[in-house]
Amino acid sequence: MNNLFKNTGYKLYVKQQEGSKKISFSYIPNPDGTVRWFWNSNSKKPLFLKFYNTTTGKGKLFAIIIHFIFLFRLQRLFFKKEILYYTIDKEPLFDITRDWSIFTGTIGPNNKAVLYANGSFYKIADTQNAQNLIHKELNIITYSGNNRLYIVPKASLLNEHVLKLSDISVGGKREKNFNEVHACALQGIKERYQTHIKISEWKYFDMMAENFKTIHDKRIPSNLIRKIDMILKDIDREETIHLSFSHGDFTPWNCYTKNNTLAIYDWELASFERPLGFDFFHYIIQNAILVQHLSWTAILEEIKKKNTITLNLNEKDLKKYLKFYLLTDILYYLKVYSEQEQWHVQIHWLLNTWSEALNMYLTKNRTSRELLVMDIFDYIHHYQYGALKFHDNEPENLTLNSDIDIIIQPKDAVKLISYIKQNSVVNKIKVVKKSFMFLIRIITKDHKILNIDLIQSLKWKNLEFMNSSEMISHAKPNKFGVKICSLQDTAKYLYYFYTLNNSEIPDKYIPLVHENLSERTMVKRSECIKRMKAQEPNKGLSLIKNTFHYLKDMFKEKGFVVTFSGVDGAGKSTIISEVSELIEKRYRRPVIVLRHRPSLLPILSVYIKGSEKAKQDVLNSLPRQGQNRSSIASLLRFSYYYIDYIFGQFIIYLKYVLRGKIVLYDRYYFDFIADSRRSNIQLPQTLTEAGYHLLMKPKFNFFLYASPEEILSRKKELSYHSICNLTKEYSQLFSRLDKQNQKSKYLSIENINLSTTVSSIMNTIITAR
């Protein structure tokens, strides 16, 4: 602060000096406690609002409150104050005892304070970088000049440290949204200079790419660096690029609309070597990130919309010039930030959005799932966390059947979930909040599943077995910036997890466990439980609380029912086996396979032949061979099995579905409607179909079919004619049910190719969930 005032003609002192005078400064701090704005406590006007962006509702409300405070002289009640002493060093630029205000500027090598006094702005440069910028701004303002499309301030250099600028904001207002006035101004700026060159001749771009290679700042997320590298390597240097004169920091807070003309400040970053549309993209993106807090999806939509009133580029060229805007802007600011000792939170906002924005240029190199994994670890780069059982390679090299376990604080987990929900590569997300973790199931745009566990407490049933805070504190970043749990903590977790669940430790983990745990730690399951119960978090009220949460957690996520129908030889058994395995691996849900019905009641022949003989007869007999022709016998037989469905469905729901399990039926009630003869029943179809309306509707229902020739090549249990008739009956039934029940899926799939059928079924389940 002393240097700042020295450049304006004053010297400041903390204690009274000979000849010094007392003055009181009021100020508003930044979130980190540093001073943002300060002014003479006796000021009658809130001149610091000259530096404040009032385009948002929040900003306007803040300005109204500040005016109210000043109107009723309530400053001392709301603002912090500091007493200092001053002397006049040389001819002052302003009267320190009157109305003035100072904005301390953005932290960094280009930092400049801005003084508003005497109806003018004064940029005060303290560093050599800042001095160079105010000298450059004077030259640029002189070059750009006023024209019919935009206005610039009058500028004069008072000394090596101070640039005076006229106040062109009077009578103007800041606009939140980009409109025709901004578009006209940008046209005027562009017309000052334009050229077309090959990228190989673009010296400005090459310079920034070279500077990028010198950045070694661990605060910058690793995957952002890797993405930039991939894009730079993929650039065709023989491609032609359209360059034009640009403002460089064209944002709502640097512009005022006056009589349908734009008044523009802060020309210090202007350049003749930026890509076409730089200022347009900068206005939309900076405003969206720093003020409106929009997702990249929303930002891109706004760019496409406003493109029609300014650049009017086709889709290909818009994507091209957006790419070069992102590259030039990111490369410039990464260098600036790497030289900046302290980072404000807005830098993280920018880095996260930039990283996500680059994804649209990496679809040939990475899948949506891989890009999302990269984005997730970039987002939590500056958080404290520990990735559990995570590989040590590039983070996105995660197999389709692998998930991500992250130990993280609850507040950080909530922020991460919010980020994932808005990520542009995410199609659907399901979040299950349990007492000790968040279960996240993500479906990406390319229909891939990514499961993430955000763990706050490590528990087995109602007992805590490890301290999550300690595990986070032990985690260290690997060469890709992912903070990995220590080997000792990972080994201990694996041992407890598998031992407590009565499972064998997988072979791939055995060396890790034995190399990092002592014999004393590797005790029997009963001893593990005994030790856990002796720990403080598992005693008294804590145990009661944990038990309550454990019981509540059991019913947090419901399962669902999937049915498979089809004639014998349609391939149901093979498909069910494949789907069951995929659901368990990728959905991470236990699967229960049932045959035909809930089986609360045994088959009727059990009462006559006994259980073993009845089961053997079923296995040895061919389908549809029953000789029953009696309507009464059929009705009794159907009623028996219908009772099994009516009551059994509730047992299945309570026992499996409510507890999060997936139930797969190999055949279902639909056999009674389309093929009742298979169950030795002869009843009107309208009766059996009416019975379906009283049953809980399975979420997914698949009818598998194939040509009679294909089915007969697999099984010769049915005649050609029977296959044709049954296929028609099932198809028509599923078509009717699909129209009647909007909440359930009824899909007929021709099962010729195994992988195609399985893919179709899984995509249906994934996209619907």
Tell me: the pLDDT tens digits for 3-34?
Answer: 788 889 999 999 999 999 999 999 999 877 88
Structure token pair of residue 373: 């994994």
The β-bridge partners of 10 are 88
How sure is the predictor about 613, in pLDDT bands with cuts at 50, 70 and 90? low
Amino acid at 59: G
User: Is the torsion defined by CA of 704, 708, 713, 717 positive or negative?
Assistant: positive
pLDDT tens track for 155-165: 999 999 999 99
Tell me what pLDDT residue 635 has: 93
Q: Band of the pLDDT at 277, cuts 50, 70, 90?
A: very high
Measured CA to CA, the distance from residue 87 to residue 17 in angstroms comes to 9
- Would you state the pLDDT for residue 555? 82
CA torsion sign for 87, 88, 90, 92 is positive
527 against 557, higher pLDDT: 527
608 pLDDT higher than 70:
no
Mean pLDDT value across residues 567-587: 90
C-beta separation of 273 from 188 below 8 A: no
What is the residue whose two structure tokens read 């306007």? 60
pLDDT tens string 655-708:
999 988 999 999 999 999 999 888 888 899 999 999 999 999 999 999 999 999
Confidence of residue 2 (pLDDT cuts 50, 70, 90): low
Q: What angle do CA 326, 229, 245 make, to 5 degrees?
A: 30
3-state secondary structure of 96: coil
pLDDT for residue 210 is more than 60: yes
What are the CB-based long-range contacts (under 8 Å, 24+) for 716-720? 717/568, 717/569, 717/622, 717/623, 718/567, 718/568, 718/569, 718/623, 718/624
List the 437-444 sheet strands across, edge first: 426-433, 437-444, 449-455, 404-408, 385-388, 483-484, 476-477
Which H/E stretch holds residue 688?
helix 685-692
Q: Please compute the mean of the pLDDT values over residues 506-534 and round it to a whole number.
A: 91
Angstrom distance (rounded) from CA 292 to CA 423: 16
Q: Is residue 441's pLDDT more than 60?
A: yes
Gyration radius of the chain over CA positions: 35
**Could you tell me if 131 and 158 are in contact, meaning their C-beta atoms sit under 8 angstroms apart?**
no
467/106: higher pLDDT: 467
636 Cβ contact list (under 8 Å, min separation 6): none
Checking if the pLDDT of 570 tops 70, the result is: yes
Check whether 614 has a pLDDT greater than 60.
Answer: no
Q: Evaluate whether 70 touches 46 at the Cβ level (below 8 Å).
A: yes
- The confidence band for 586, taking pLDDT boundaries of 50, 70 and 90, is confident
Distance, CA of 138 to CA of 161 (rounded, Å): 12
- 481-507: pLDDT as tens digits: 999 999 999 999 999 999 999 999 999
Report the side by side order of strands in the sheet with 240-246: 194-198, 240-246, 271-275
B/e letters for 81-91, b = 16+ CB within 10 Å, e = fewer, are: eeebbbeeeee
Please give the single-letter amino acid code of residue 388: L
> Which residues pair with residue 258 across a beta bridge?
261
The better pLDDT of the pair 110, 199 is held by 199
CA–CA separation, 38 vs 65, rounded Å? 17
Q: How far is CA 228 from CA 221, 225, 331, 335, 359, in A?
A: 11, 5, 9, 13, 10
Q: Does domain 560-768 have CATH number 3.40.50.300?
A: yes
Give kind and range of the element (H or E) at residue 29: strand 21-29
Least confident range from 394-408, 623-637, 644-658, 719-733: namely 623-637
Residue 31 is encoded by which pair of tokens? 């979130």
Superfamily of domain 180-361: Aminoglycoside phosphotransferase (APH), C-terminal lobe (3.90.1200.10)
Alpha-helical (H) ranges within 173-261 are 180-191, 203-213, 222-233
Give me the mean pLDDT over the 251-279 stretch: 94
Residues ≥6 apart with Cβ < 8 Å to 397: 370, 391
Closest CA to 258 of 154, 153, 155, 156: 153
The pLDDT value recorded for residue 158 is 92
User: What are the φ and ψ backbone dihedral angles of 363, each rounded to 5 degrees?
Assistant: -65, -20
Q: Which helix (H) or strand (E) holds 36?
A: strand 35-40
pLDDT tens, position by position, 241-251: 999 999 999 99
Q: How far apart are CA 745 and CA 697, in angstroms?
A: 10
**The pLDDT value given to residue 63:** 92
What whole-number distance in Å separates Cα of residue 198 and Cα of residue 239? 6
Q: Which residue has the higher pLDDT, 388 or 677?
A: 388
Tokens found for residue 466: 């490890």
Give the helix/strand (H/E) hosting 426: strand 426-433
The alpha-helical segments, DSSP class H, found in 276-387 are 278-287, 296-307, 315-338, 345-357, 368-379
Query: Binning pLDDT at 50, 70 and 90, where does residue 69 land?
Result: very high
Mean per-residue pLDDT over the chain, rounded: 92
Residue 610 has pLDDT above 70, yes or no: no
pLDDT at position 606 is 65
Domain ranges across the chain? 2-166, 180-361, 369-553, 560-768
Of 258, 257, 302, nearest to 280 by C-alpha is 302
Please tell me the distance from the alpha carbon of residue 506 to that of residue 389, in angstroms, as a whole number: 12
Please give the pLDDT value at position 607.
Answer: 64
Above pLDDT 70, what percent of the chain? 96
* Sequence letter at residue 655: K
pLDDT at 595: 92
Cβ-contact 12, 131 below 8 angstroms: no
Residue 601 structure tokens: 């009641």
* pLDDT category of residue 623 using cuts at 50, 70 and 90: low
Structure confidence by residue, pLDDT tens digits, 136-156: 999 999 988 778 899 999 999
pLDDT more than 90, % of the chain: 76
Distance set, CA 53 to CA 39, 56, 118, 130, 552 (Å): 18, 8, 21, 23, 48
Q: Quick one: average pLDDT of 623-630?
A: 69
pLDDT of residue 1: 60
If pLDDT is split at 50, 70 and 90, which confidence band does 589 have? Answer: confident
pLDDT value of residue 566: 93
User: Does the pLDDT of residue 618 top 60, yes or no?
Assistant: no
CA angle 33, 35, 37 (to 5 degrees): 135
Residue 730, pLDDT score: 95
Taking CA atoms, 351 is separated from 195, 286, 524, 575, in Å, by 30, 12, 48, 45
Interatomic CA distance for residues 575 and 754, integer angstroms: 7
In this structure, of 129-133, 360-364, 554-558, the range with the lowest mean pLDDT score is 554-558
Q: How crowded is residue 511: how many other Cβ atoms within 10 Å of its Cβ?
A: 10
Q: Angle at which helices 685-692 and 631-655 pack, to 10 degrees?
A: 20
Please choose, from the candidates 146, 103, 136, 140, the residue with its C-alpha nearest in 3D space to the C-alpha of residue 122.
103
Give the integer Cα–Cα distance in Å for 568 and 693: 26
622 pLDDT more than 60? no
pLDDT of 126 above 60:
yes
